[in-house]
Amino acid sequence: MCGWRGFVAVGWFVAQVVSAQGLAPRVNATNFDLGLQARELAPGVFVVEGTNADFSPANGCYIINTGFIVTGAGVLVINTGASRRQGEQLRALIARTTVEPVVRVLHLNLHPDYFLGNQAFADVPRAATVATTAGMAREGASYAANLYRLCGDWMKGTEPLLPDTPIAAGPLRIGEREFELLEMTGHTASDLVLIDRRSGVAFVGGLVFAHRVPTTPHAQLDAWFASLDAMAALAARGITQIVPSHGPVARGAEGIDETRRYLHWLDTSFSAAARQGLEMSEVLTLPVPAEYRAWAAFQTEYVRNVAHLYPRYEQRALQGR
């Protein structure tokens, strides 16, 4: 792993300044055009950046960073978006970008914006861990129903299509590209990280949120902290760019540090509140650092953080732990 840096074409990266704003989609609700754009992070490695926000019709509910990598033997797609429309427009963008066909889709976790675009990729293998596929099967119908309520006609025609190819941690080779797959936990029960050895670009899924409040419906904070520590060690040993599923692409460990700091604040704040015997409604009135209040999706996701996680702290306090 420490040798990844040697694969990087240093001059190319110096010439490519990564904008903090990225290339967010230019949504046209009149014709349901998401305006997706592919940004090349390294030769053959592309990110398609979503709006750093919560789901809404105004952004077409395209809030995830998907990606694709041209391998010389076809294209590897990383996540497919939250709807059939998103998947179809992502596939059309790939076809405009490279003549190579899509040969595989990889899902990094079980959340809806990682796989509800799968109908556009029904003809190619769609890979996920066994745990992730089981979670999608368990929750896919409710995901789709909730997003229809949130996104309206942007979801037209969307039905859950599950991965059909199990995959596990370890090396992966497609064409001229060698990848490393790492399975971690914390954001969900199975969080895949994909590292392209040639470029050092890492797609880290929902383990990292950049300038955005993390989502926590399946979170286990102790495991998440351990995963963030492991990724920080990787970043120090040759990872050149980190692609979170939400928020801007970053060099180094900036997004990792932001996510760890926020989750540590949640842990400390909720522990103290539970020891004081505060109700959930009271926790929602407690002060929140200005940095976090300024992050994307704060108004919705922080409320969900409290609903998802605080009852566990109350239970521990009641048990005297």
In CATH, what number is assigned to the domain containing residue 246? 3.60.15.10
Domain that holds residue 158: 4-318
Amino acid at 209: F
Separation between Cα atoms, residue 166 and residue 183, nearest integer Å: 13
Model pLDDT, residue 320: 80
CB 75 within 8 A of CB 94: yes
pLDDT (tens, 9 = 90+) of the chain, 321 residues, equals 333 333 233 222 223 333 334 566 777 767 899 999 999 999 999 999 999 999 999 999 999 999 999 999 999 999 999 999 999 999 999 999 999 999 999 999 999 999 999 999 999 999 999 999 999 999 999 999 999 999 999 999 999 999 999 999 999 999 999 999 999 999 999 999 999 999 999 999 999 999 999 999 999 999 999 999 999 998 888 898 999 999 999 888 899 999 999 999 999 999 999 999 999 999 999 999 999 999 999 999 999 999 999 999 999 999 886
Separation between Cα atoms, residue 294 and residue 247, nearest integer Å: 13
As given in the structure block, the two tokens for residue 192 are 């895949």
Taking alpha carbons only, the member of 262, 263, 305, 267 closest to residue 284 is 305
Characterize the bridge pairing of strands 45-48 and 66-70.
Answer: antiparallel
DSSP-derived letter for residue 58 is G
Contacts of residue 27, Cβ cutoff 8 Å, sequence gap at least 6: 33, 34, 35, 51, 58, 59, 60, 62
Separation between Cα atoms, residue 40 and residue 86, nearest integer Å: 19
Task: Give the residues across from 39 on adjacent strands.
Answer: 47
CB 270 within 8 A of CB 315: no
Model pLDDT, residue 22: 58
Q: SS3 of 320, please?
A: coil
Separation between Cα atoms, residue 64 and residue 244, nearest integer Å: 9
Task: Give the residues across from 48 on adjacent strands.
Answer: 66
CA triplet 187, 220, 155: central angle to 5 degrees?
40
- Per the listing, tokens 């840096």 go with 5
Number of domains in the chain: 1
